[in-house]
């Protein structure tokens, strides 16, 4: 069934959400005490003090959150959602050994449309419970991921993945592109779906394919979502094979621009940071994955100082083990300070912006989501900030959101005004019974859990 974001059972939706604090992200650093957000037909109608809201919207359904901060739904700017089924499969290894010896063989053996749909449903359940309302995906069988996102009610940016290697999904780059573009053509008008071109990485995509992607990205006006400068080995390989570093190679091929989402971007020289800033590109920063794979420390403070857009991603559960964007906010803020040797690097308000409006802007969705502004779609999350010993006292809600609260404090989530999490409980039947479906992938003979 096609889910329509703005009407429920043919009735107009009217909802008033009151919270102890509303953190709208725009204006930058704002915290509004004792405010309310009015939602009508899936969009934010007004943001105003509670007393005024109760008088003006007296006939609206009420949701009162007296111990909470109401924030924009979090935007996971980079993940491989279906890889939840590979969580813990091959830990404590560097990237290329992890890929070549474990992940790629497991994918060749097991990945199918059903695998992707089940893994993505599991990811959606995990992400919603952590306040994530939108995710940017890169994986095989994107139509199966689309079905899962649609069933869960989440907002998704589906990657039209491209790689030179054949897979169960496609035989060659043209086949990947053809299938991805056909999927976009069928679903491009869906209110909760958008699309990115998703070439995997410089070491798995040829110059000829990158040129095609650059042409297509300009023609259909979609972002280009690519792993870039993730490891020193990637950079050295590019020098050996192409005579330039990966970003310069992509620039020469026409891919540097405001639609470029450079995932990881760990190993950057100052001129490369300036290039990203000059072209309006975004870095999707994935701190946990960078640490777990020993890829290094992204120069987040230098990127921010140069004016490069910063978004946050979890990466896949196989290389992070958690799809926890609140955790990534805290880690990103702390790492930025340590790397820059500057306690003011990536303050709390900037970390929250990266996890919300930064991700929305990377996906070209900043006019629709990412901040609590009247007219935008009502993607919201409520985080409890008081009422437990580990949460007291709360001097600064912004600080609490980044440095204190965790995903276990997320109580409510709405996507386009539809409540998908209430009091910590998922509200969508499609996400029930996942344990049984997921365990099948681990228990079959020769399955993922086999050692």
CATH number at residue 400: 2.30.40.10
The helix (run of H) or strand (run of E) holding residue 134 is strand 132-137
Q: Which of 71-75, 98-102, 246-250, 290-294 has the lowest mean pLDDT?
A: 98-102
The helix (run of H) or strand (run of E) holding residue 68 is strand 61-72
Task: Please tell me whether residues 131 and 66 are part of one structural domain.
Answer: no
Q: Is 335 exposed, middle or buried (0-12, 13-18, 19+ CB in 10 A)?
A: buried
Side-chain-side CA neighbours of residue 174 (13 Å): 1
Q: What is the pLDDT confidence band of residue 439, given thresholds at 50, 70 and 90?
A: low
- So what's the pLDDT on residue 438? 64
- So what's the pLDDT on residue 221? 97
- Three-state secondary structure along 373-393? CCCCECCEEEEECCCCHHHCC
Percent of the chain surpassing pLDDT 90: 90
- So what's the pLDDT on residue 194? 98
Close Cβ partners of 154 (under 8 Å, ≥ 6 residues apart): 124, 127, 128, 132, 133, 134, 135, 192, 415, 420
Q: What is the pLDDT confidence band of residue 442, given thresholds at 50, 70 and 90?
A: low
Instruction: Supply the angle between the helices 113-129 and 434-443 in degrees, to the nearest 10.
Output: 130
Give the CA diameter of the chain: 68
Task: With CA atoms as reference, report the closest residue to 266 among 229, 223, 305, 307.
Answer: 229
In a domain, 121, yes or no: yes
- Whole domain around residue 42: which residue ranges? 11-72+376-416
Task: Please tell me whether residues 86 and 65 are part of one structural domain.
Answer: no
- So what's the pLDDT on residue 273? 98
Task: Please tell me whether residues 200 and 179 are part of one structural domain.
Answer: yes
Q: What is the pLDDT confidence band of residue 431, given thresholds at 50, 70 and 90?
A: confident
Tokens 């969580």: give the residue: 87
Q: Which of 81-90, 248-257, 260-269 has the lowest mean pLDDT?
A: 81-90
- So what's the pLDDT on residue 444? 46
Q: In what order do the strands lie in the sheet with 309-312?
A: 74-79, 132-137, 155-162, 193-199, 224-228, 260-264, 282-285, 309-312
DSSP state of 75: E
pLDDT 10s digits, 314-344: 999 999 999 999 999 999 999 999 999 999 9
Q: What is the pLDDT confidence band of residue 94, given thresholds at 50, 70 and 90?
A: confident
Residue 297 has pLDDT above 60, yes or no: yes
How much is the mean pLDDT over the chain?
Answer: 94
In a domain, 137, yes or no: yes
pLDDT 10s digits, 106-130: 999 999 999 999 999 999 999 999 9
Average pLDDT rounded to a whole number, residues 380-406: 97
Task: Please tell me whether residues 36 and 137 are part of one structural domain.
Answer: no
Task: With CA atoms as reference, report the closest residue to 18 among 380, 391, 355, 353.
Answer: 380
In a domain, 370, yes or no: no
Task: Please tell me whether residues 110 and 229 are part of one structural domain.
Answer: yes
Asked if residues 129 and 152 have their Cβ atoms less than 8 Å apart, the reply is no
Task: Please tell me whether residues 405 and 264 are part of one structural domain.
Answer: no
Task: Please tell me whether residues 240 and 111 are part of one structural domain.
Answer: yes
């Amino acid at each position: 069934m096609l889910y329509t974001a703005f009407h429920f059972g043919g009735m107009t939706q009217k909802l008033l959400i009151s919270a102890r604090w509303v953190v709208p992200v725009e204006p930058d650093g704002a915290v509004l005490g004792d405010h309310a957000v009015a939602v009508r037909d899936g969009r934010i109608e007004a943001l105003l003090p509670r007393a005024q809201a109760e008088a003006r919207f007296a006939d609206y359904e009420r949701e009162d959150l007296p111990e909470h901060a109401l924030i924009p739904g979090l935007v996971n700017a980079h993940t491989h959602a279906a890889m939840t089924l590979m969580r813990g499969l091959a830990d404590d290894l560097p990237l290329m050994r992890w890929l070549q010896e474990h992940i790629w063989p497991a994918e060749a053996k097991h990945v199918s449309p059903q695998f992707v749909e089940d893994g993505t449903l599991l990811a959606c359940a995990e992400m919603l419970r952590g306040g994530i309302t939108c995710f940017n995906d890169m994986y095989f069988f994107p139509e199966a991921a689309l079905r899962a996102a649609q069933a869960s009610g989440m907002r998704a940016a589906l990657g039209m993945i491209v790689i030179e290697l054949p897979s169960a999904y496609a035989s060659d780059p043209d086949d990947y592109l053809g299938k991805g573009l056909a999927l976009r053509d069928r679903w491009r008008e869906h209110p909760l779906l958008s699309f990115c071109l998703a070439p995997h990485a410089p070491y798995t995509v040829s110059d000829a394919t990158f040129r095609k992607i650059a042409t297509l990205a300009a023609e259909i006006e979609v972002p280009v979502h690519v792993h870039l400068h993730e490891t020193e080995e990637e950079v050295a390989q590019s020098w050996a094979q192409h005579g330039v570093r990966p970003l310069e190679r992509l620039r020469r091929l026409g891919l540097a621009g405001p639609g470029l989402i450079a995932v990881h971007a760990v190993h950057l020289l100052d001129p490369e940071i300036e290039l990203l800033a000059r072209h309006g590109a975004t870095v999707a920063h994935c701190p946990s994955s960078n640490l777990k794979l020993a890829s290094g420390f992204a120069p987040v403070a230098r990127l921010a100082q140069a004016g490069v857009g910063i978004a946050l991603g979890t990466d896949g559960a196989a290389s992070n083990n958690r799809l926890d964007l609140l955790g990534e906010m805290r880690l990103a803020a702390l790492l930025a300070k340590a790397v820059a040797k500057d306690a003011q690097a990536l303050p709390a308000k900037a970390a929250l912006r990266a996890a919300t409006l930064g991700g929305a802007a990377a996906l070209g969705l900043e006019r629709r989501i990412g901040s609590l502004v009247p007219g935008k779609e009502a993607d919201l999350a409520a985080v409890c900030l008081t009422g437990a010993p580990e949460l007291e006292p709360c001097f600064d809600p912004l600080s609490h959101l980044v440095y204190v609260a965790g995903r276990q404090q997320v109580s409510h989530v709405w996507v386009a005004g539809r409540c998908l999490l209430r009091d910590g409980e998922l509200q969508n039947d499609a996400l029930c019974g996942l344990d049984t479906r997921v365990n099948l992938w681990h228990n079959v003979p020769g399955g993922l859990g086999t050692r």
